């Protein structure tokens, strides 16, 4: 693969990014239906210069998805190049290797160097990889108020089959058992409170 055809990643620089203090990386994980997307959306509204990492994936774009906004869409060959050259903070095979997804390293490091707060949303395996690749990251686990509430939320979405729900619940049970590995656990029993707790991770004045 030539350098001309290989995808590169970049971060838009804000006019406010004049600080020389290095930014802080927060890694957010938690089970399906715990409310990560809603919490992240609120946090992004409250912190205008937050860099929210965009994942790179080998799957095809879905209707309405925009390259560079929702995901970076690349070929399997490009993705393998990123692995071989340590250009991903974490990555995983999905659906038995039919597709791959990961977190580009360069945009995260660039945003941190600019002093910006950085948020990465990943699964448990991804959080563990980032712990290894960037030991200074703060790992945050978003937990449900109870197992029963998580089940109700997942079933209530009505977007998955029974088989998918059972797989997600099995994964959720594993994730909940691993929450002690994280630096901080936020229980999402009140949205405003959960958002405030996550924002406090950056110690923004």
What are the binding residues for ATP?
30-37
**167: how many CB neighbours lie within 10 A of its CB?**
13
Using CA of residue 136, residue 142, residue 145, residue 150, what is the dihedral sign?
Answer: negative
Binding residues are 30-37
Cα separation, 174 vs 30, whole angstroms: 10
Residues linked to residue 152 through DSSP beta bridges, in sequence order? none
CA 74/CA 6 separation, integer angstroms:
9
CA–CA–CA angle 192, 32, 24 (5° rounding): 55
Q: Which structure tokens are listed for 75?
A: 């070929």
Say how far residue 38 (Cα) sits from the centre of its chain: 13
The first and second tokens of residue 195, run together, are: 């958002």
CB 101 within 8 A of CB 57: yes
């Amino acid at each position: 693969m030539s350098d001309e055809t290989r995808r590169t990643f970049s971060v838009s620089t804000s006019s406010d990014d004049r600080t020389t203090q290095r930014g802080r990386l927060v890694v957010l994980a938690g089970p399906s239906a715990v409310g990560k997307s809603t919490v992240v959306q609120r946090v992004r509204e409250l912190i205008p210069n937050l860099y929210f990492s965009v994942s790179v994936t080998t799957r095809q774009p879905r209707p309405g998805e925009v390259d560079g906004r929702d995901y970076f869409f690349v070929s399997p060959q490009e993705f393998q190049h990123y692995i071989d050259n340590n250009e991903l903070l974490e990555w995983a095979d999905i659906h038995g290797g039919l597709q791959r997804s990961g977190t580009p390293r360069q945009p995260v490091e660039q945003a941190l160097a600019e002093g910006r707060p950085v948020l990465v949303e990943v699964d448990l395996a991804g959080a563990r990889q980032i712990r290894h690749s960037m030991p200074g990251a703060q790992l945050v686990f978003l937990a449900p108020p109870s197992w029963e509430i998580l089940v109700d939320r997942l079933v209530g979405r009505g977007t998955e089959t029974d088989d998918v729900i059972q797989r997600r619940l099995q994964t959720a049970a594993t994730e909940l058992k691993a929450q002690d590995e994280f630096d901080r656990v936020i229980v999402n029993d009140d949205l405003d409170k959960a958002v405030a707790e996550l924002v406090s991770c950056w110690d923004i004045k």
